[in-house]
Structure 1
Amino acid sequence: MPLPSPAPREPLHRRAIDIRGYRREDGLFDVEAHLVDTKSYPFVNDDRGTIEPGKALHGMWLRLTLREDMEIVACEAASDFTPYAVCPQAAPNFARLAGLRIGPGFNRAVQERVGGVEGCTHLREVLGQMATVAFQTLYPIRARREREEVARIMAAGGAAERRRPAMLGSCLAYAADSPVAQARWPWLKEEAGSGQG
């Protein structure tokens, strides 16, 4: 269902962000983002002169190469369009993200490595969304491996460790008492009944 009809208006600014996840032939994964900002009117820029309607003010690329455990192996950035000639000089600094793991504390670690004058506001902003796409890209692979490991332990007569899913409590659907979460993780009902949940 779309939003209700808006009040009469004119378009002024558009930011398009396209983020895609890939499995590479070498066993690693790429998450790649392309950000483009445009205006609907011409305006004068100090470094570029007049920027015409629909011409990119920002046109930037960012690629994270990851291991299955969400560790960043490499980060590459490129700026096709920027408001100032100096802006592309920030792109090589994003290689400093290699070695970080996407998870708790990721945004803080990004800020420490490429924050402020060491980086680019627009590239940093898109990194949070790229982290989400990395989870979406790798979730089926990681979940399958986890299921296989549990099955292996059970087949050997062991007891599989029951870990709280990271997604639990992250939104309405994954509230511990929601029908979605309880269908996905039936043992939550047992915990709720015993007062451990």
Structure 2
Amino acid sequence: MAQPAPDPQRQLKHRRSIDVAVYARPDGLWEVEARLVDTKTRDVVLAGETRRAGDPVHDMTLHLVVDTRFNILTAGAQTHAMPYPGQCNAYGDAYARLAGLNLLKGFRQAVKERLGGVQGCTHITELTQVLPTAVIQAFAGEVLDTQEGGASAADQPPFQIDRCHALRSDGEVVRQFYPRWYRPEKAEPASP
């Protein structure tokens, strides 16, 4: 599918970078470090001070420790650069409230309830939304069985089946690479 062609005279004004790194620990737990950085291509005045072009307007890190069942054991956040020092970073240990949540079971709604609005930092709270799929990617093939004929093949399909458009059980990818779990789409009965 084609995307709109970029205008040749467009000018970059703002860049948001999101980086998520997931680390395996020797104790069987996993650490997740998610970072959000916003920069401008021009000088901006924030809280009466000039922030130079390219210097971060926002630079925030969220750190989690998770187990192999996607449970968050500990969590915390730190704000390194912000528009309003002493205010933007005054959320205390709000992100410790992520502990006890499961990344795959009602996570996004629970984050909204625990940290939505003024309960947390908008940017860090938004950053949480990319964590479930990032951790799934880290776990794929190590924690999660993603191979045809893997350990769970006797009764369970590989983890990713029916979790995205390309890997739907009635689709071509599953037919070709995971034939055991292929389920052709059922034809609708003809109307009389």
SS at 2:118's partner residue? helix
CA contact (8 A) 2:152 2:158 kept: no
Aligned to 2:162: 168
Does residue 1:38 correspond to 2:39, yes or no? yes
Q: What is the TM-score of this pair, normalised by structure 1? A: 0.81
Taking a change above 3 Å as real, the CA distance of residues 11 and 105 of structure 1, as seen in their structure-2 partners, is: same
Aligned-pair distance for 1:176?
2.6
Aligned-pair distance for 1:111?
1.0
Q: What is the correspondence of 1:83-162 to structure 2 with a 5 Å cutoff?
A: 83-85=83-85, 86-90=87-91, 92-144=93-145, 147-150=150-153, 160-162=154-156
Q: Deviations over 1:127-172 (max 9, x none)?
A: 111221111011212334993355xxxxxxxxx324585541522x
Taking a change above 3 Å as real, the CA distance of residues 91 and 148 of structure 1, as seen in their structure-2 partners, is: farther
What is the identity, as a one-letter code, of the residue corresponding to 1:174? Answer: L
User: Could you say which structure has the higher helix fraction?
Assistant: 1
What is the identity, as a one-letter code, of the residue corresponding to 1:138? Answer: F
CA contact (8 A) 1:38 1:53 kept: yes
Question: For 1:101 and 1:50, how far apart are their aligned partners in 2?
Answer: 41
What is the identity, as a one-letter code, of the residue corresponding to 1:116? Answer: G
Match of 1:192 among 161, 184, 188: 184
CA contact (8 A) 2:35 2:62 kept: yes
Aligned-pair distance for 1:185?
2.7
Question: For 2:164 and 2:132, how far apart are their aligned partners in 1?
Answer: 15
Aligned-residue sequence identity (percent) comes to 32
Q: Deviations over 1:99-119 (max 9, x none)?
A: 100114210001111111111
Question: For 1:83 and 1:115, how far apart are their aligned partners in 2?
Answer: 20
> How many pairs does the alignment contain?
182
CA contact (8 A) 1:32 1:130 kept: no
CA contact (8 A) 1:168 1:181 kept: no
Question: For 1:30 and 1:169, how far apart are their aligned partners in 2?
Answer: 24
What is the identity, as a one-letter code, of the residue corresponding to 1:29? Answer: W
Aligned to 1:154: none
CA contact (8 A) 1:78 1:91 kept: no
Taking a change above 3 Å as real, the CA distance of residues 32 and 167 of structure 1, as seen in their structure-2 partners, is: farther
